[in-house]
Amino acid sequence: MRTEAAGVFLAVAAIFTPGPAPAESVRLLVQSSPLAGFQYYAGATLWNEMKAGDRLVLVREPDNAHDPRAVRVEWRGRKLGYLPRAENAAVATEMDRGALVEGRISRLVAHRNPWRRLRVDVWLVAP
């Protein structure tokens, strides 16, 4: 049942995907998650410069000692944190297969809980 719901979600996301994408590709929203580790990396110092819609670079860290499925999140070359461990398996698997993924800041909220400050959207780009 969960897989069917995910498939429906992906189909709907493909139809209503905002933003520029090359005419010959399709962007599928595959994940929307809080940013893990915001309080430990550069997020606080870069807060006033970041905006919703900004591009994020996703980097696989298969040798990460804490999580072999780790996906690091960077903004303009600065480490902001990670996709949450409980939610990174599908994205890590696709990245390991060579799939093209994109990250975007979907929401910034001035909240005392660091898990609520920045939300990351992950898009799978299919030719």
pLDDT for res 125: 93
Count of residues in the chain: 127
Give the start-to-end residue ranges of the domains of the chain.
2-126
**Residues 20, 93: Cα–Cα separation, whole Å:** 25
Q: Which has the minimum average pLDDT: 1-5, 40-44, 45-49, 67-71? A: 1-5
Name the DSSP letter for residue 68: T
pLDDT for res 113: 80
pLDDT for res 13: 45
CB 107 within 8 A of CB 119: yes
Average pLDDT score over the chain: 84
Strand ranges inside the chain, DSSP E: 26-34, 55-61, 70-75, 78-82, 100-108, 118-126
Taking only the tens place, the pLDDT of each residue in 10-60 is 444 444 445 555 567 899 999 999 999 988 988 888 889 999 999 999 999
Q: How far is CA 28 from CA 72, 76, 85, 110, in A?
A: 20, 23, 21, 28
User: In the CATH scheme, what architecture does the domain 2-126 have?
Assistant: 2-Layer Sandwich (3.30)
pTM of this prediction? Answer: 0.78
